[in-house]
Amino acid sequence: MTANLATAGVDSRVGGAAAGAEIRWLGGRLLGTTGGFHISPRMTGEQDFAPVSHRSTSDISTSLETEIDYEGLPQGMATSTHMLAGAVAGIMEHCLMYPIDCVKTRMQSLHPEPGARYRNVMDALRQIVQTEGVWRPIRGVNVLAVGAGPAHALYFACYEKIKFSLSDAIHPGTNSHFANGVAGCVATLLHDAIMNPAEVVKQRMQMFNSPYRGVLDCVGSLLRHEGPAAFYRSYTTQLTMNVPFQALHFMTYEYLQELLNPHRQYNPSSHVVSGALAGALAAAATSPLDVCKTLLNTQEAQAVRHISGLGEAFRMVYRMGGIPAFFKGVQARVIYQMPSTAISWSVYEFFKYIITKRQHERRLHGDRDGDK
């Protein structure tokens, strides 16, 4: 990640009058430097750092308050901050975009019933509301919200930790696209382990004429008739889809951040644009795998009931619709992922920034009380 030594990353050990004070950039990206560079308050037209010989404690406090580096988190707080921000982002992302997700599942059906054949996303939403009720597009959202919180908490915490550690090992102080991709892949393993059962239940309830009365009824029916393995039947397919999806997603997001937000400050518009474009590209590229995952999760009665693996799912999709079948619902998937990833990144970056800012304010307040 492009090095941007912002003032909030300065360790509390920086002395006010020490000309050669050690500067530690938290987050593991800059371990330490020595010399005559100290942090000065940023003025219009000035660079971030200027060589000075002495600084007072009050000046350092002022500069710390002026610039909060939410990328460089306080030691001992980073993991909890990433987990809390990630959990909120995941819940909001999935809940706000759930109606479009419902449409995507319906449009990926290989043999839709006459009442579930839609021309496009808006036509699908209109028909679902008119024929099945206004609440039908959000049926099953509760199970997804329950799974999204812990799944995204682990997802973002794991991603940030591996990204910074691996980037430092490869190119200290710089952004590594390879590290971003690896971090996204590893984070996906934890995320999907939690989310896969929720995805199965959610998609069973999203299907046209779903026979389940509610989430508990769906879970009980799956356990009785298909066993616990039903909740992880699509896990390998989910990973096969999400590993390249997340690698492409994170690499694209970080690359766009380098272009749109090179100083890596909190910039909502850059997070929204980068997230939306990254999500759209990754969604389109992995759409065939998503169709196979939906078939494994729903086990459509019109197809074959016990499709048990990715290879069999691929063959079944091709047999029932040829190459075009692999791109069923791609429009809905891209429309879902663009705002979904935009919401996820903007909410995540916002909460990370707010939480980190408050942590720094508390630290500054404690340091001032100690000086008194």
Query: Does the residue 201 lie in any domain?
Result: yes
- Please, which residues have CB within 8 angstroms of residue 39's CB and are 6 or more apart in sequence? 5, 7, 10, 14, 23, 48, 49, 55, 60, 63
204 and 285 together in one domain: no
224 and 252 together in one domain: no
Contact between residue 363 and residue 12 where contact means Cβ atoms under 8 Å apart = yes
218 and 270 together in one domain: no
152 and 268 together in one domain: no
Q: Three-state SS across the chain? A: CCCCCCHHHCCCCCCCCCCCCCEEECCCCEEEECCCEEECCCCCCCCCEEECCCCCHHHHHHHHHHCCCCCCCCCCCHHHHHHHHHHHHHHHHHHHCHHHHHHHHHHCCCCCCHHHCCCCHHHHHHHHHHHHCCCHHHCCHHHHHHHHHHHHHHHHHHHHHHHHHHHHHHCCCCCCHHHHHHHHHHHHHHHHHHHHHHHHHHHHHHCCCCCCCCHHHHHHHHHHHCCHHHHHCCHHHHHHHHHHHHHHHHHHHHHHHHHHCCCCCCCHHHHHHHHHHHHHHHHHHCHHHHHHHHHHHHCCCCCCCCCCCHHHHHHHHHHHHHHHHCCCCHHHHHHHHHHHHHHHHHHHHHHHHHHHHHHHHHHHHHHHHHHC
- Count up the domains in the chain and report the number: 2
Per-residue pLDDT of the chain (372 residues; tens, 9 = 90+): 333 333 333 333 333 333 333 333 333 333 333 333 333 334 344 444 334 434 444 444 444 444 445 554 444 456 888 888 889 889 998 999 999 999 999 998 887 888 888 988 999 999 999 999 999 999 999 999 999 999 999 998 898 888 888 888 887 877 788 888 888 888 989 899 999 999 999 999 999 888 899 999 999 999 999 899 999 988 988 888 888 888 899 889 989 999 999 888 889 999 999 999 999 999 999 999 999 988 888 877 444 557 777 888 888 889 888 999 999 989 999 999 999 999 988 988 898 888 888 878 888 877 676 666
97 and 191 together in one domain: yes
Contact between residue 142 and residue 87 where contact means Cβ atoms under 8 Å apart = no
Query: Does the residue 36 lie in any domain?
Result: no
Sign of the dihedral defined by the CA atoms of residues 93, 96, 98, 101, in that order: negative
Give pLDDT, residue 125: 93
Domain with 224 in it: what CATH number? Answer: 1.50.40.10
Query: Does the residue 25 lie in any domain?
Result: no
State the chain's maximal CA–CA distance in angstroms.
78
Query: Does the residue 302 lie in any domain?
Result: yes
Domain boundary among 232, 258, 276: 232
107 and 207 together in one domain: yes
201 and 219 together in one domain: yes
Nearest to 158 by CA among 220, 215, 86, 93: 86
138 and 284 together in one domain: no
Range of the domain at 207: 78-232
Report residue 135: phi and psi, to 5°.
Answer: -90, -5
Contact between residue 336 and residue 283 where contact means Cβ atoms under 8 Å apart = yes
Query: Does the residue 254 lie in any domain?
Result: yes
264 and 165 together in one domain: no
pLDDT in tens, 203-244: 999 998 888 999 999 999 999 998 999 999 889 888 888 888
User: Cα 81 vs. chain centroid, distance in angstroms?
Assistant: 14
Distance CA 284, CA 327 (A): 9
266 and 151 together in one domain: no
Map tokens 């609440």 to a residue. Answer: 135
Query: Does the residue 47 lie in any domain?
Result: no
227 and 245 together in one domain: no
* Amino acid at position 165, single letter: S
* Packing angle, helices 177-206 and 98-107, rounded to 10: 80
Query: Does the residue 195 lie in any domain?
Result: yes
Domain boundary among 292, 309, 328: 328
Contact between residue 343 and residue 111 where contact means Cβ atoms under 8 Å apart = no
Measuring CA to CA, how many Å separate 168 from each of 76, 163, 172, 264, 340? 19, 9, 4, 17, 30
Q: Three-state SS across 105-133? A: HHHCCCCCCHHHCCCCHHHHHHHHHHHHC
Domain boundary among 201, 232, 263: 232
Give pLDDT, residue 73: 43
Query: Does the residue 58 lie in any domain?
Result: no
Long-range contacts of 318-325 (CB under 8 A, 24+ apart): 320/110, 320/111, 321/110, 325/110, 325/291
Give pLDDT, residue 26: 33
241 and 107 together in one domain: no
